[in-house]
Amino acid sequence: MIRQKIFFAAFLYGLVFESFGFLGGGFYLLPALVTAAIFNSLVFTWQSVNFIVSWISGVLILSLWSATLNNWNLFSYKFAAHIFIYFFILLVILYALDAKKEQS
């Protein structure tokens, strides 16, 4: 079953970053939605596995997008840390929403 709450949380989260970040054009919003979709569709019983798999896929998507924006130059360590933190916080929110759903 689709969990609208998860998508809406990812949408709002992406939108906030889209507003405050310097890169527009869905740079933050679309990978957040894709990560939420992956997290939603994964079927592992251990939620932590879903968390890690969707975190890695989100980081990969945004890393590839960043590389294409930068003529395939590697981005700095600071930017890499930024991507890791961005998806970590997103998935913590999604995980919390998911856990709440399972409890209720």
Partner 1 sequence: MIYLQNKPSRQFRWCAGKPSRCVFIVFWAALVALVFFNKTNALLHSAFVGTAAFLLPDRVALEESKNNLLSMMQIRQVVLDNKKLREALGLSEKHRFIPARVKFDGGYLFLDSILINEGLNAGIKEGDAVVTENNILIGSVSSIGKNWSKVKKTGSLGEKLTLVASDGQAAGVIFEAVGLGGGELIAEFPITLQSPIIKVGDTVRWGQNNDFIAGLVDNIDFNENNSLDRATIISASPLFMAEVMVVSENK
Q: Give the residues lining the site for partner 1 (CB under 8 A).
A: 1-2, 4, 7, 11, 15-26, 29-30, 33, 37, 40-41, 66, 69-71, 73-79, 81-82, 85-86, 89
Q: How far is the CB of 100 from partner 1 (least distance, A)?
A: 19
Residue 36 Cβ vs partner 1, minimum distance, rounded to whole Å: 10
Rounded to whole angstroms, how far apart are CA atoms 78 and 29? 20
Q: Give least dist CB 85 to partner 1, A.
A: 6
Rounded CA-CA distance 79/31 in Å is: 16
Report H helices in 1-104: 4-20, 29-41, 47-69, 77-103
